[in-house]
Amino acid sequence: MRGKGKAQSLLEYSILIGVAVAAILAMRTYVLRGVQEKYRQSVDVFGQGGQYEKGITQITDLDGPGIPPVEPPVTPIDTCPTIQNKVTDLEKQVADLRSRAADFDTRAAQLEEQAQVLISQGLIEEANQLLEMAAKLRSQAEEFRNEANTKEDQIEAYKQGYPECFPSAGP
């Protein structure tokens, strides 16, 4: 009789564990959706409510550009095509930086306009938050312009250092 009681207890524990596992698996979908919603809410805060659209959405770093990449020095074995390619890449980067700066300035102007509307409605605290965001965007735009100026200086240095590769830019 004693062995039968142990087998019954083992069977009861197995069923109990099976029910617990089934309950966890059934809740998995709901927990996963809850976590995904929290991620979405966080992204909406940083994306100003906009949805990501491939090829259209521009990804920006509001915390700053970080450490800028160091341009490798030109070695004596660099050929004109290599130097011209570096200059072309730098020119593209300059254009992108100037475009991003203009986009940030536009967004900052929009936020400032929204802040003025909020001020007229008496919502001063919300307006101040928008003005702070606009100031950060303008600061970031200025950093983009400074980085573009640095890259333009690099382009000029290449052109002056290798006049044979840029005949129209020579002295």
- Max distance between CA atoms of the chain, in angstroms, equals 107
Instruction: Specify the number of domains making up the chain.
Output: 2
| pLDDT tens digits, one per residue of 124-166 | 888 888 888 888 888 888 988 998 898 888 888 888 877 787 7
**120 and 146 share a domain?**
yes
Report residue 6 as tokens. Answer: 């142990």
Give the ranges where 47-123 is alpha helix by DSSP (H): 80-120
CB 139 within 8 A of CB 104: no
3-class DSSP state of 162: coil
| pLDDT tens digits, one per residue of 37-65 | 888 777 766 666 666 666 666 666 655 55
Residue 52 lies in domain: 1-57
pLDDT at 17: 96
**25 and 52 share a domain?**
yes
Residue 2 pLDDT exceeds 70: no
Is 64 within a domain?
A: no
**40 and 93 share a domain?**
no
pLDDT at 24: 92
Instruction: Identify the burial level of 71 via C-beta atoms within 10 angstroms of its C-beta, where 0-12 means exposed, 13-18 middle and 19 or more buried.
Output: middle
| pLDDT tens digits, one per residue of 77-114 | 567 788 888 888 888 989 998 998 899 889 888 888 88
Is 80 within a domain?
A: yes
* 87 HSE (CA, 13 A, CB side): 20
**32 and 79 share a domain?**
no
**48 and 115 share a domain?**
no
